[in-house]
């Protein structure tokens, strides 16, 4: 019987076929390249291409990470995400806005790593994002307890049902905890896997003069 280790060893990584990418021809602005790669992932039918891992740090400086969805990329090149302020990540973002956001698009063999600083959007912008969510997600968020210990499932179900009914009566209702965040990047890396293992890595770093671009060893 094969062990888990054997099975993992036998599993292929960096599967699929990477689209054409010439780092030397990449645009000066990383936002342009990000949009291009995200649209390629959307067009290729990559499942949940907007899903990304958001890394934060807790009050002891220990990293924490979870998957969430990218809401938009602004014209100014900021990455928008949204979450409840009462959640673990919400508290971490308020205490320390330094974050990383990581995408992986398979089978395109592409990943994008973003490092930046998060700033909360205005209450109106957060409310607009909340209103665009589906009713079930809104009803849970309205309970305002994301990441709190779930000690009473029946109470949870009752609260969610109550919130769903309240939303039917007033669909414009918003959770004051729901916050849209904008991540202004200071560094991005575009990574594309190659069967030769000579993977392509293009890093952009923000400087006073604009974006500096450099390729990295795989
Ligand atoms: C595909 C996917 C998308 C998700 N999108 C969000 C999201 O947009 N906002 C959010 O708060 N949580 C989202 N979650 C749930 C988070 O991963 C996480 O469980 C939750 O936010 C609590 O994290 P925290 O305890 O670190 O705050 C998503 C999870 C998955 C797997």
From ligand 1's centre to the CA of 90, what distance in Å? 11
pLDDT of amino acid 84 = 97
Q: Identify the pLDDT of residue 46.
A: 98
Nearest atom in ligand 1 to 48's CA: 1
Among 49, 56, 67, 183, which residue has the most ligand 1 atoms within 8 Å of its CB, making it the best to mutate? 67
Omega of the bond leading into 107 within 30 degrees of 0 (cis): yes
Can you tell me which atom of ligand 1 is nearest the CA of 88? 27
Q: What is the per-residue pLDDT for 1?
A: 83
Q: State if residue 68 touches ligand 1 by the CB under 6 angstroms criterion.
A: yes
Give a yes or no: residue 143 inside a domain. no
Asked if residue 65 has its Cβ within 6 Å of ligand 1, the reply is no
Q: What is the pLDDT of residue 94?
A: 97
Residue 136 included in any domain:
no
| Residue 184 within a domain | yes
Q: Is the CB of 87 under 6 A from ligand 1?
A: yes
Residue 38: CATH number of its domain: 2.30.110.10
Residues 45-73 as b/e (b if ≥16 CB within 10 A, e otherwise) read: ebeebeebebbbbeeeeeeeeeebebbeb
Q: Is residue 105 part of a domain?
A: yes
Q: What are phi and psi of 201, to 5 degrees?
A: -135, 120
> Domain for residue 138, yes or no?
no
Asked, for residue 183, whether it belongs to a domain, the answer is yes
Give the residue among 57, 66, 152, 126 at the shortest CA–CA distance from 143.
Answer: 152
- CB-ligand 1 contact for 92 (6 Å cutoff): no
Q: Give the number of the atom of ligand 1 that is nearest the alpha carbon of residue 87.
A: 27
DSSP 8-state class, residue 19: P
Q: Which pLDDT belongs to residue 196?
A: 87
- What is the enclosing helix (H) or strand (E) of 166? helix 153-169
Is 29 within a domain? yes
Ligand 1 within 6 A of CB of 147: yes
**Cβ of residue 55 lying under 6 Å from some atom of ligand 1:** no
Question: Per residue of the chain (218 residues), what is the pLDDT tens digit?
Answer: 899 999 999 999 999 999 999 999 999 999 999 999 999 999 999 999 999 999 999 999 999 999 999 999 999 999 999 999 999 999 999 999 999 999 999 999 999 999 999 999 999 999 999 999 999 999 999 998 999 999 999 999 999 999 999 999 999 999 999 999 999 999 999 999 998 889 999 999 999 999 999 999 99
Atom of ligand 1 nearest to the CA of 81: 8
Domain-embedded: residue 45: yes
Query: For the chain, what is the domain count?
Result: 1
Residue 184 confidence (pLDDT)? 98
Range of the domain at 90: 10-130+178-215
């Amino acid at each position: 019987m094969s062990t888990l280790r054997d099975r993992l060893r036998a599993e292929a990584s960096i599967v699929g076929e990477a689209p054409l990418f010439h780092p030397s021809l990449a645009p000066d602005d990383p936002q342009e390249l990000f949009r291009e790669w995200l649209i390629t992932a959307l067009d290729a039918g990559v499942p949940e291409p907007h899903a990304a891992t958001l890394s934060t740090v807790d009050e002891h400086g220990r990293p924490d990470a979870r998957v969430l969805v990218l809401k938009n990329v602004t014209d100014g090149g900021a990455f928008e995400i949204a979450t409840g302020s009462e959640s673990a990540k919400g508290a971490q973002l308020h205490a320390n806005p330094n974050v990383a956001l990581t995408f992986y698009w398979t089978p395109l063999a592409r990943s994008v790593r973003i490092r930046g600083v998060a700033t909360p959007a205005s209450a109106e912008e957060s409310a607009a994002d909340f209103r665009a969510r589906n009713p079930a997600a809104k009803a849970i968020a309205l309970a305002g307890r994301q990441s709190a210990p779930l000690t009473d499932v029946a109470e949870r179900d009752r609260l969610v049902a109550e919130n769903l009914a309240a939303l039917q009566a007033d669909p414009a209702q918003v959770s004051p905890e729901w916050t849209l965040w904008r991540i202004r990047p200071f560094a991005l890396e575009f990574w594309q896997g190659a069967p030769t293992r000579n993977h392509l890595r293009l890093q952009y770093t923000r400087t006073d003069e604009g974006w500096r671009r450099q390729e990295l060893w795989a």
